[in-house]
Amino acid sequence: MFKVLGSLRALDLSNTNMENQPHSVGELIHLRYLSLENTKIKCLPESISALFKLHSMNLKSCNSLSELPKGIKFLTNLRHLELPSMDDWNMYMPCGIGELINLQTMHVIKVGSDSGSCGIADLVNLNKLRGELCISGIENVTSAQITPEASIKNKGELRKLIFRWSCVDSMFSDEASSVLDSLQPHPDLEELTIRGFSGVRFPLWLGNHMFGISILELKDCQNSKELPSLGRLPCLKHLSINSLTSIMHVRRMLSVHDETTCCDYGSSTSRAFPVLETLKFMNMDSWELWDEIEATDFPHLQHLTIMRCSKLSGLPSLQALQNLRIKNCESTRVAKFPFPPMY
């Protein structure tokens, strides 16, 4: 099919019923752009590794694609590798992805459990990555594998990170905590999601006042018994806490560790959550108590959502709050809310 099209620079086969890519695609040696978006393709031929000039490959919404070819590591001019989203994807990624040193866009890297699959070490040379990255399969990572060279802290162009564990196993909670300790991002990161973390404690870097994150989501961290110390984050505007089912007590700064240290950084950081605008708590089955706060805390909080927190009885006084939504919280009593007096 492609033998007579040897001069092609761009090939877009998106939204077709294609299930298999012909082996002859490897003869398109001048190809710079290849899109198979939203096709039914199940595998890519190894001949694709001959496309040395390829700059961009779009595999978004290719939900039937089971694996990437082992020879993908030879596409060293590849700058953009668009993959299916993690919610639709169960693809095997081979080792060698780290040899694609010119990659700027790759939204997902999936760490496998066997020696032939992609590992955390594949991140070592991917220092041009920018925008968004989801690291999935972190349950297959050990802290010893995260060398300084593989550190996420060196990826200064990333703006959004998703750390994703595919299973929650309390047997490995200590190792999960050590791994997350080692995955400290660059301080310029703007958005972070931690999903499926199986550790009991969150890392100290998550609450470091030098961390410039503005959006944070903690989800399905079912072994965590205490929230991280987030009250001193100077840029945090949106916080979502979902399905942390072992949390019983939410403190002023969200963690007991900050109660005696929050004033050590000067008056500008002594108030909790100085710029937070949106706060969501969802599916917190064990949550019973939310401590009182200082009058200067949450000065810009506009939206508070509490859903399916069946044991929570009341709220602290949130003087700046403009929008409150409470749903499916059976133990919550309106009479216990600190509403301002009516005149």
Amino acid at 334: V
Is pLDDT at 24 greater than 50 in this prediction?
Answer: yes
DSSP line for 230-242: -TT-TT--EEEEE
For the cut 70, the answer to whether the pLDDT of residue 338 exceeds it is: no
Q: What is the mean pLDDT of the chain?
A: 88
Find the radius of gyration of the CA atoms of the chain: 23
Residue 334, pLDDT > 90, answer no
**At 279, is the pLDDT very low, low, confident or very high (cuts 50, 70, 90)?**
very high
Q: Cβ–Cβ contacts within 10 Å for residue 260, how many?
A: 8
Q: 250: exposed, middle or buried (C-beta count within 10 Å: 0-12, 13-18, 19+)?
A: buried
Span 223-236, pLDDT tens digits:
999 999 999 999 99
Fold of 1-73: 3.80.10
Is residue 258's pLDDT more than 70? no
* Residue 339 binned pLDDT confidence (cut-offs 50, 70, 90): low
Could you please state the CATH topology (level 3) that the domain comprising 74-336 is classified under.
3.80.10
For the stretch 107-156, pLDDT in tens is 999 999 888 999 999 999 999 999 999 999 999 998 888 887 778 888 99
E strand spans, the chain: 10-12, 33-35, 56-58, 80-82, 108-110, 131-136, 158-164, 191-195, 215-219, 238-242, 249-250, 278-282, 289-290, 303-307, 323-327
Q: Tell whether the model's pLDDT for residue 292 goes beyond 80.
A: yes
With 0-12 CB in 10 A as exposed, 13-18 as middle and 19+ as buried, what is 148?
A: exposed
What does the pLDDT average to over 307-313?
Answer: 94
Q: 80 by DSSP, 3-state: which?
A: strand
Ranges of each domain in the chain: 1-73, 74-336
